[in-house]
Structure 1
Amino acid sequence: MQWLRERGLLELNRVGPGLRKIIENMGWLLVDRFVRMGMGLFVGVWVARYLGPAQFGSLNFALAFIALFTTATTLGLEGILVRELLHNPRDTDEMLGTTLALRTGGGLLSVALSIATVKFIQPHDQQALILVSILSFNLIFQAFDTIDSFFQSEVKSKITVWAKNLAFLLFAGIRVSLIHVRAPLWTFAASYAGEIAFGALFLTLGYRLSGGRIFAWRVSKARAMLLLKESWPVIFSGMAIMVYMRIDAVMLKVMQGDLAVGLYSAATRVSEVWYFIPTAIVSSVSPAIIRAKDDPTLFYGRLRKLFSMMTITACVIGAIVALASHAIIRTLYASSYSGAAPVLAVHVWASVFVFLGVAQSPWDLSKNLLSLSLYRTFSGAIINIVMNLYLIPRYSAMGAAIATVVSYAISSVFANALSARTRPIFFMQMKSFLPYRFWI
């Protein structure tokens, strides 16, 4: 923190009660990230070693496939609902009830679509159908994240963290127990569905204990139309992001089979574990950057230092993980996963562009350019799909890793060069690869 403050990226002086509450709330969110990343990697590796690459690939295909339908459940209402709850607190019960009804309807529709789609693309894979059918229940229970939006509006994420991590830790323990009793694959899918269901249950209990009453919620058709009218651009953006992040595993399954998905998933579990770092840093320094937008010298100076910090951090992580990829895979997984090492050595470099993309968010917010980020995300998703179609048949999991790195690079960095409004950011991102820039 002191290091960030000295470089003008973090301002902690004059911390009032409101800011103190926000910092405490952010702290709880970071605890959530650390618990899920740390324990998730530990138990996930344990599960991977038990299942073996092929069955681990089957499970990860089903998880990735279901993730593609998540946006149809959330309906892009997260941020919109939080904003409306802040601006119209008197309508809280109506907004929460209407949102829950919309998301439940979207979840039920998504269940039907996911099962029908997997039967269409994998007509002879009974195991995939069973796993997707079990995990599709996630899409219904995720509707209760409506309560999470309420807690966000009240700056009470502590309750959400307790509720979801209690469910996470409970079912992490259940997955370890399943390994000990040598349970079949479908039970692990059921444990992931159970985690989401119990997370919804604990959220509901937390809401009740905090004084809320779900039975007081009400549904308004007019409110539903207003919410959907605002959320449709976010729905498309969310779909693009999900395709961007999860289509690799689905395409690998269809083109190369479960083994390729298992090796790719083992590699991405390690390379993506670092993605919480840019979010944590940017959420801390964004206020100081946005506050300086009326002073161009200070504003651009802080942005430049943020980009440099992100590039240096991501390159250090990339270099260490790439050089030690064989040792990391050999230590974490069984010898049957040795093919994941070169995939990890390539895929980890996507973190450089992920870090730079997240660091751009203060600029997008201060310049009101969020619509351009939607276009960049769509372009990245399309490029990823096209490259996967060409590279996966030739290089299997390695082809998917290359496609990911290239598509992230284009959407997070090089696409900025195409618009006059984002070209200054592109030049700052390019200059961040010169280490001396950080110190001047």
Structure 2
Amino acid sequence: MIKSKDLTLNSLWFALSKLNTLLSGVVFFVILTRYIDKGVVGAFTYAQSIIAISAVFVSFGLSTSIVKQFSETPLNIKNIIRSVIAFQMIAAFVVIVFLYLNFHENNLIVIILSFTLLFKCSEVFKTFFDYNLSSKKYYKAELLILVLTTIFKIIVLLYTGDIIFVCVIILLESMVIFLIMLRMFNKNVSMYNNSVKVNFKEILRDAFPVLISSSIFIIYSRVDQLMVYNMSGDESQALYASAVKLSEGWYFIPLGVVTSYYSILANNKNDDNYFNYFSDACLKVNSITIPAAILITLFSKQLISILYGDSYIESAAILTIHVWNGVIIGLSSLTFRHFIIAGYRKLSIYRALIGLLLNIVLNFILIKQFGVIGAAISTLISQFIALFLSNLIWKTTRNIFLIQLKSLFFIKYRVSNEICTSRQ
């Protein structure tokens, strides 16, 4: 039985726990743009994109796919998580070596940030708490660390003006969060069986399509920044990244709703009301993303001027375009989780491939013609087609398209039992 209060509270805790997106992604970035040369800002955000892409190969899609394993074998959660963490640690070492061989001569920022990948597996612990609708268990500790380290990063940046010291603090921050998550997890798994053997091959088989789709997705969501940096230079990258930080800085709020509904959808996958729950989730996500996109569009110039200064005013036009990606991302996050629950592994890969190819082609054409504005247009078009419109292509996802299309107009989609039972 779904308790609305539990859902709302867990969404709130999850959203608050994601304040690091706001703190390190926006508040800190504002200080960065005010006191650091645009070229350094461009190099730093470029390095962040490299690490974000690398992180996908470390997580291997496991942090998302194990929710299905949790619902099928709840007594085996402890061993599942331990196996996943061991695998991710090994993957992190491999990726760090690869990045060192390719960047050690010309990009120290990438090398330092690469070691944060060792602690990427803390996301697995968060998945465990989110699954149990108990995000608040880790929220307070994580938020305290993030607030303190963000303040410390700002002080160090203002005092030294050296981005390298900031990167070291980011590394220490990720390590401390991991250690706290590990301790909290060990205190909350005593009720689970410690002797059940884990079928890790099955876990990897479930995770592999998620890895493929996630890696393609993160590449095409970051390829605009990589291409802007390489085609237009570090200062253009700074302008583009400043708009992206603002347009993505509030994503943690709708994603809190998505995460809470994920466990509900997974546990009710055979229920006749499954798609009604899905429709409710879409409406709640849109009630956040659409008003936010409208407000940011209307006041983009004022936001850029106040936060970054007039030297970044060109970013306002980018922001008015890029901010609408949030509406697509919110709905797509729900669709992605539906694919995992329903077993539509190949569809998630196809969608991601469509988006990647479109974004690369459009970026090559539009960046040359319109500069950084072209990159924003390319990303919006490719995500709209790949993550929303593509649901019309396959018969099994057309009902998803109808649900989400109506939700854009805040219309509840009442799905018949016949449609619900034919989803598998």
Preserved contact between residue 130 and residue 260 of structure 2 (Cα < 8 Å): no
Sequence identity (%): 24
| Corresponding residue SS for 2:160 | coil
Note closer, same or farther for the CA distance 1:327–1:20 as it changes in structure 2 (3 Å cut): closer
Moved more, 368-377 or 267-276: 368-377
CA distance in 2, matches of 1:145, 1:285: 18
Deviation per residue, 1:289-327 (Å, 9 max, x gap): 96896369xx56x86676567557544433332232111
Which of 46, 50, 60 aligns to 1:61? It is 46
Amino acid at match of 1:239: S
Preserved contact between residue 254 and residue 288 of structure 2 (Cα < 8 Å): no
Preserved contact between residue 59 and residue 189 of structure 1 (Cα < 8 Å): no
Q: Which residues of 2 match residues 368-387 of structure 1 at below 5 A?
A: 369=344, 371-387=346-362
TM-score with structure 2 setting the length:
0.82
Preserved contact between residue 318 and residue 348 of structure 1 (Cα < 8 Å): yes
Q: Which residues of 2 match residues 189-268 of structure 1 at below 5 A?
A: 189-207=167-185, 223-268=199-244
CA distance in 2, matches of 1:52, 1:94: 48
Offset of 1:285 from its aligned partner?
6.5
CA distance in 2, matches of 1:225, 1:352: 36
Offset of 1:224 from its aligned partner?
4.5
CA distance in 2, matches of 1:205, 1:308: 37
Note closer, same or farther for the CA distance 1:97–1:413 as it changes in structure 2 (3 Å cut): closer
Note closer, same or farther for the CA distance 1:364–1:94 as it changes in structure 2 (3 Å cut): closer
Aligned to 1:7: none
CA distance in 2, matches of 1:144, 1:309: 28
Amino acid at match of 1:107: A
Offset of 1:400 from its aligned partner?
1.3
Which of 386, 393, 408 aligns to 1:418? It is 393
Residues 1:350 and 2:350 are matched in the alignment: no
Runs (5+) with no aligned partner, structure 1: 1-10
Offset of 1:181 from its aligned partner?
0.7
Note closer, same or farther for the CA distance 1:146–1:282 as it changes in structure 2 (3 Å cut): closer
- Please identify the structure whose Cα radius of gyration is greater: 1
Q: Which residues of 2 match residues 10-409 of structure 1 at below 5 A?
A: 15=3, 24-34=9-19, 36-37=21-22, 40-84=25-69, 87-88=72-73, 91=76, 94-118=79-103, 126=106, 129-152=107-130, 155-207=133-185, 223-282=199-258, 287=264, 294=272, 314-358=289-333, 360=335, 369=344, 371-409=346-384
CA distance in 1, matches of 2:405, 2:73: 43
Offset of 1:201 from its aligned partner?
2.2
Offset of 1:204 from its aligned partner?
2.8
CA distance in 1, matches of 2:36, 2:89: 33
Deviation per residue, 1:194-233 (Å, 9 max, x gap): 2111211222333455587xxxx99x9x854443333221
CA distance in 1, matches of 2:230, 2:24: 30
Offset of 1:137 from its aligned partner?
0.2
CA distance in 1, matches of 2:329, 2:377: 14
CA distance in 1, matches of 2:48, 2:252: 20
Offset of 1:153 from its aligned partner?
5.4
CA distance in 1, matches of 2:404, 2:78: 45
TM-score with structure 1 setting the length:
0.79
Size of the aligned set, in residue pairs, is 410
Note closer, same or farther for the CA distance 1:295–1:193 as it changes in structure 2 (3 Å cut): closer
* RMSD (CA atoms): 3.8
CA distance in 1, matches of 2:258, 2:246: 22
Runs (5+) with no aligned partner, structure 2: 415-424
Preserved contact between residue 102 and residue 224 of structure 1 (Cα < 8 Å): no
Offset of 1:182 from its aligned partner?
3.0
Amino acid at match of 1:112: V
Amino acid at match of 2:233: G
Note closer, same or farther for the CA distance 1:227–1:292 as it changes in structure 2 (3 Å cut): closer
Offset of 1:116 from its aligned partner?
3.3
Amino acid at match of 2:255: T
